[in-house]
Amino acid sequence: MAALRLWSRFRRKGDGRGARGLAGGKYEYDLLVIGGGSGGLACSKEAALYDRQVAVLDYVELSPKGTRWGLGGTCVNVGCIPKKLMHHAALLGGAIKDAKNYGWDLSLPVHHDWGTMANAVQSHVKSLNWGHRVQLQDRKVKYMNLKGVFLDKHTVQGESKQGEKTILTAENIVIATGGRPRYPADVPGAELGISSDDIFWLKDSPGKTLIIGASYVALECAGFLTGVGLDISLLVRSIPLRGFDQQMAHLVTDHLTSYGTRVFWKCIPIKIEKLDSGKLQVIWKNLESDVEERESFDTVMWAIGRAPETGGLRLDKAGVQINPETGKVIVGDNEETSTSHIYAIGDIAEGRPELTPTAIKAGKLLAHRLFGKSTELMDYDNVATAVFTPLEYGCVGLSEQEAVQRHGEDNIEVYHAYYKPLEFAVAERDASQCYVKLVCLREGDQRILGLHFTGPNAGEVIQGFALGIKCNATYSQLASTVGIHPTCAEDVNKLKITKRLGVDPTVTAC
């Protein structure tokens, strides 16, 4: 609400007319993008297709532990890409254990080598860094490894690692600087821990690790670290996966526990100390019992959220307003800030999902509005996403809690089922957390409000159903669709038991 109140004071422009002409007159560039992550790169490359003068500034500050990476932003370097690769490494370990039941003669237990995995993942990331530079060059986008700050509404100063300064002017400016992991300010010794900015670039195994937090970053890292054979614990203050459906979130953490991750619920860190042995002793308090506990770890990782990278941009010089509560830039429906020709996309924009695909699409659509004849706005409703924990969780649309809040409990119908993937049967895996839930309006044609799925390849399953929900699919349309057998996805099509009926929703046959 604070963001909406602030925004209401500003003019909302953005008529799609774009710059007044090709750069070379009043301004050096038609478009200057600050930030070389997914959104910024997508916007700049798309704008260049209109034969405009485009530049990108990108500069990576060292993490508190000294980690640095190349062009591409969070997703490429310290997010989606290395995370999915390490998640896959853990899944391969599980598949090796399953293989014996399928007749493969393998010597167990198997052992994982962190260095081999890390080298392969880091090499792939570096190839993507180089690929982005080549793509910018091919599109004739000027790339500068400079840290940008505003001098006025059309002027940005770029500073190199050596301290050399460059002045750039632009008709339009896009802020796409993303975010960085938060460190707590009130925990002595917090600086002894690492973050997700560091975990993917470690050359050596982190060993016995405590992850503090319950975000998707925390749960995903706990999952793949446990999966490669490490002793992993989670310290959770309140609820897991805040913002997600809470029934599904607890299925994910229940599976993590059965997978081997220790979870300390309702606990907060008090202090971290470095012992003479080099290990880190963590002292925490259980909020329910008010008892302090302590244990030593090789590594402590913070995963308590991310902060937008807006503090050093001198946004006040350009008249760009932020929400003081979140630090994010306030934007209108067309991504425009309080200054008419300055835009913000991706994680630093207030009220936007912190997802790579939304930043990419928003950036491309912005370029089309600025330099093409398009008036199409980014649609942030019903964006599908997945959490790559050992048991994956995919979802699109409203959670059950959100549906109840918006429509009232009596006005929604929830279809659900527990199912067992065929892959789990021969491997004798526990499938008690494999679950699918469909949230619908109760009356009329029962329009689908949300779909939630835990199980193998959850992201792949949800992606296809997301199209149907985007097109206002109904329960009857879903039920009339013939599933592919034998798949996990077909259990979505077969949903027929509602929570209102109060009967066991476990699937027992075709």
Strands 393-397 and 385-387: antiparallel
Q: How far apart are the first and last CA of the chain?
A: 48
d(CA 60, CA 106) in angstroms, rounded, equals 44
CATH number for the region 190-303 comes to 3.50.50.60
Q: Name the average pLDDT for the chain.
A: 94
Q: How much is the pLDDT for 27? A: 97
Q: How much is the pLDDT for 108? A: 85
Q: Is 84 in contact with 203 (CB distance < 8 Å)?
A: no
Angle, vertex CA 474, rays to CA 471 and CA 475, nearest 5: 145
State whether the Cα torsion 490-455-429-105 is positive or negative.
positive
Q: Is 38 in contact with 76 (CB distance < 8 Å)?
A: yes
Overall fold of domain 385-501: Enolase-like; domain 1 (3.30.390)
Torsion angle, CA of 240/388/427/481, rounded to 10 degrees? Answer: 100
Q: Is 118 in contact with 127 (CB distance < 8 Å)?
A: no
Instruction: Note the pLDDT tens digit of each residue in 211-229.
Output: 999 999 999 999 999 999 9
Q: How much is the pLDDT for 509? A: 72
Query: Hey, what are 132's tokens?
Result: 């982005």
Q: Is 400 in contact with 450 (CB distance < 8 Å)?
A: yes
Overall fold of domain 2-59+145-181+307-371: FAD/NAD(P)-binding domain (3.50.50)
- What is the amino acid identity at position 246? Q
Q: Is 206 in contact with 199 (CB distance < 8 Å)?
A: yes
User: What is the value of pTM for the model shown?
Assistant: 0.93
Alpha-carbon radius of gyration of the chain:
24
Q: Which residues of the chain have pLDDT under 50?
A: 1-21
Fold match, 190-303 / 385-501: no
Domain boundaries, the chain: 2-59+145-181+307-371, 73-118, 190-303, 385-501
Q: Tokens 């180089």 belong to which residue? A: 130
Instruction: Note the pLDDT tens digit of each residue in 371-396.
Output: 999 999 999 999 999 999 999 999 99
Q: How much is the pLDDT for 180? A: 97
d(CA 137, CA 142) in angstroms, rounded, equals 7
What single DSSP character describes residue 181? E
**Annotated active-site positions, please?**
485
Q: Is 493 in contact with 473 (CB distance < 8 Å)?
A: no
